[in-house]
Amino acid sequence: MSFLCVYSCLQEVLVARGCRQSLKQLHVRFGSFYRIDRHTFPVLLALDRLVGACCRQDAPLTFESPDAIFDLAIFYHTEFPTDPSPSFKTMIQQLAQQATSVEYLFTQDGLADPHTDPSQPAIDIASSLSFDEAVWVEVRDALGFHPPANTPSPRPTIITHLKPFPKASQLVVASGLGGAVGELLAAKMPKEVRGVDVERGLGGEEKVGVLTALGREREVDTVVMGEVGVDQLVGAADSLPTIKRLQFNITLPDDVEDTGSFVRTRLSSVIPHIRGLQGVTLRVQKTTAEQHDSITASLPVGVNIGAFCVSIRNVHRGRDFTSIHLVLNA
């Protein structure tokens, strides 16, 4: 039996036995890692109806869900209350306080959301939330959801009404629709961030956009970018946060002749422009054996590029890429 049926049936039983606005307290435990999202939102509404029907107005309410996962897209749910009850506000606030993961999940239903025009009740509740325990912030597509081609990246302005996430350490944007959302969430991250991963889904310009949204004042330990244009990265360097370790990929042009020289030039372009850099890992995609040999000759272990030294080279013939790792000289 689903939680929705449980709460609805429990309300019917309690009311049938004369329990009408008479419960003196209510404690609900959802369990660890409970998801607050579009799928479970009707459960929260059913629970709120139970509270309204069976609890006294002054009854203490406790909603427990350690390590909850909170999907911000619920603020655009078609059934979001136009006049939320105090108990509904309390429930959302308590669940947000316990959430260790905050995400924005794209679904087929969500494509029609009024992203730039959230309701005033949604704004009021969103602005009251404190995600004090959230360490993981993620943007992704729902399982099995494949956005139609050329779908514009939504900009859900409800995020602008949220308080900052004081303990967040990881930002992951893994959806082709997530560029604008990633930028909005980046603005909520603390000054020191452990990791930013924009490897999957986004184009190069959007990846750089998420990083620039973090701003110059933030410090990031590790940035995983995936495929990105070196010129895009260098062009935005003055707006990027301090980055200790950078991982990025490039694909060789079809007409490249001297592969080793090309790769070395790309590295030489990036390294001096990224503030705080201590380590770089570059993956060169789709390299042939000849191209790998050219890279090896141009970038032998121990060679310096500026203040950095090539420390490791890996060739993955089965997957046809070559990676080079450089570290800052002591």
Question: For residue range 143-188, what is the model confidence (pLDDT) as tens digits?
Answer: 998 888 888 899 999 999 999 999 999 999 999 999 999 999 999 9
Dist. CA 74–CA 78, nearest whole Å: 9
pLDDT of amino acid 1: 42
Percent of the chain with pLDDT over 90: 68
Q: Residues 238-260: what's their mean pLDDT? A: 92
Q: Residues 286-301: what's their mean pLDDT? A: 89
pLDDT of amino acid 164: 97
Does the structure show a pLDDT above 90 at 70? Answer: yes
Work out the pLDDT band at 209, boundaries 50, 70, 90. very high
Higher pLDDT, 257 or 15: 257
Dist. CA 151–CA 225, nearest whole Å: 22
Higher pLDDT, 286 or 240: 240
Cα Dmax for the chain: 84
Which tens digit of pLDDT belongs to each residue from 92-146? 999 999 999 999 999 988 888 878 899 999 999 999 999 999 999 999 999 998 8
pLDDT of amino acid 16: 55
